Amino acid sequence: MRDVAALAGVSVKTVSRVVNEESGVKADVRARVLAAATRLDYRHNLAASNLRRSRARTGVVGVLVQDLGNSFSASLVRALEDAWRDRGLMVLAASLDEAAEREQQIVENLITRRVDGLVIVPASPRHDYLAPEIRAGLPVVFADRLPRGIDTDSVTTDNRRGAFLAINHLVHVGHRRIAVLTDAPSIATAEERISGVQDALAAHGREGTLDLLHTGIRSEADAEAAVRALMAEPSPPTAIFAARNVLAQGSVRALAEMGLRHSVALVGFDDFPLAQLLDPPLTVVRQDVARLARLVGTRLLERLDGDTSAPIHEIIKPTLIARGSGEIPPS
């Protein structure tokens, strides 16, 4: 900047004015400065500029999701990007893969980078570690899963109701032996979904009959193996509820390989782009990711704009989309 100033024959302050498009610089001076900047390949340094600036903004929001490669995470990030583009906010993204330590570590790293805000699909069971940051005014919005140990904005799905819808649907179709595939119950979302399953069974006078619950199923491969094992048992289930999209995909894979696609009912949680094109089309409990992302994006912007009201917890109602796989009757 000093070089540019020298070449243009002005002070650094004037260069600063031009670079920041402040008013009050004569056109010819402006032109000279711009010319000098171009000639010297000058590049403004945002970090340095923010250092002295009073209300500094990096224009970066940290977004922590489970797996950027998963359609749920990817859609979320994409929608946030769109929601923030015209505000000039960029997304610094990271996958957590359900690793609690990674979450804390990355958050710490992001704080060090002075991100303007944080969107978190948490992997850790408690989030007390964020308390100082939130107290200091950092906007933090939890997505898809609720914060624990602190109170901050969140946008989540009614997981309990979603699972209820799924099981209720299968029971109505006539199923009695329903296998449930889900993550470890230590993950809040999984726990809520299990509760929903129990609600549905209770509603049909079948409390405590959840003998086919398989927890700790974390990946597509896990689900595939679990379904294979299940179907090989003496009295296999006639229906499966896979409580996360990759688990549904693994289930479809296993059923396809075993030639059971059209004889075992399957309902997934989370819709995904091609669910409708599978054979049979997959019945799912859909949570509206676009809506979720929109709400999250808006909430963060409002906090960024100075809204300091009490934390808001928004809950999205899931809906059941019957497409075929969930309507297969028990054999």
Partner DNA sequence: TTGAAAGCGGTACCAG
Partner DNA sequence: CTGGTACCGCTTTCAA
Residues that bind DNA (CB under 7 A): 1-2, 9-14, 16-17, 19-20, 23-26, 29-30, 42-45, 48-49, 51-54
Q: Provide the minimum distance between the beta carbon of 243 and a second copy in the complex, in angstroms, as a whole number.
A: 18
Burial status of residue 296 (CB atoms within 10 A of its CB: 0-12, 13-18, 19 or more): buried
Closer to DNA by CB, 42 or 129: give it. Answer: 42
Q: By C-beta, is 203 or 290 nearer to a second copy?
A: 290
Using the minimum distance from each CB to a second copy, give the nearer residue, 2 or 43. Answer: 43
- Cα–Cα distance list, 322 to 132, 270, 276, 283 (Å): 45, 13, 10, 5
Q: Is 280 within 8 Å of 261 (Cβ atoms)?
A: yes
Min dist CB 97 to a second copy, Å, is: 9
Q: Which of 80, 189, 98 is nearest to 144 (CA)?
A: 189
| Smallest distance from a second copy to CB 94, Å | 6
What does 78 interact with, of DNA, a second copy, none (CB < 5 to 8 A by kind)?
a second copy
Of the pair 186, 276, the CB lying nearest a second copy is at 276
State the burial class of residue 33 (Cβ atoms within 10 Å of its Cβ: 0-12, 13-18, 19+): buried
CB of 137 to DNA, least distance (A): 14
Q: Which does 109 bind (CB under 5 to 8 A by kind): DNA, a second copy, none?
A: a second copy
- Smallest distance from a second copy to CB 310, Å: 22
Burial of 58 (0-12, 13-18, 19+ CB in 10 A): middle
* Closest distance to DNA from the beta carbon of 86 (Å): 22
Residue 273 touches which of DNA, a second copy, none (CB < 5 to 8 A by kind)? Answer: a second copy
* Largest Cα span, the chain: 88
- Report the residue number, 10 or 187, with the smaller CB distance to DNA: 10
Q: Which does 74 bind (CB under 5 to 8 A by kind): a second copy, DNA, none?
A: a second copy
**Which does residue 305 bind out of a second copy, DNA, none, counting CB within 5 to 8 angstroms by kind?**
none
Cα dist from 114 to 48, 84, 104, 248, whole Å: 13, 18, 15, 38
- Residue 23 interacts with, from a second copy, DNA, none (CB under 5-8 Å by kind): DNA
SS (H, E, C) 190-259: HHHHHHHHHHHHHHCCCCCCCCCEECCCCCHHHHHHHHHHHHCCCCCCCEEEECCHHHHHHHHHHHHHCC
Q: Tell me which of DNA, a second copy, none is bound by residue 20, counting a contact when its beta carbon lies within the kind-specific cut-off of 5 to 8 angstroms.
A: DNA
How far apart are CB 171 and DNA at their closest, in Å?
58
Cα 134 from chain centre: 20
User: Which of 44, 113, 58, 55 has the alpha carbon at shortest distance from 89?
Assistant: 58
* For a second copy, the closer CB: 165 or 226: 226
Residue type, 189: T
Closer residue to DNA in complex, CB, 29/91: 29
Closest contact distance (angstroms) between CB of 132 and DNA is 15
Report the candidate in 84, 107, 87, 85 with the shortest Cα–Cα distance to residue 96: 107
Where does this chain bind a second copy (CB under 8 A)? 41, 43-48, 50-51, 58, 60, 67-71, 73-75, 77-79, 81, 88, 90-95, 106, 109, 111-114, 132, 136, 249, 252-253, 256, 272-274, 276-279
For 156, which DSSP code? E
- Which CB atom, from 11 or from 105, has the smaller least distance to DNA? 11
Pairing between β-strand 283-286 and β-strand 319-321 as defined by DSSP bridges: antiparallel
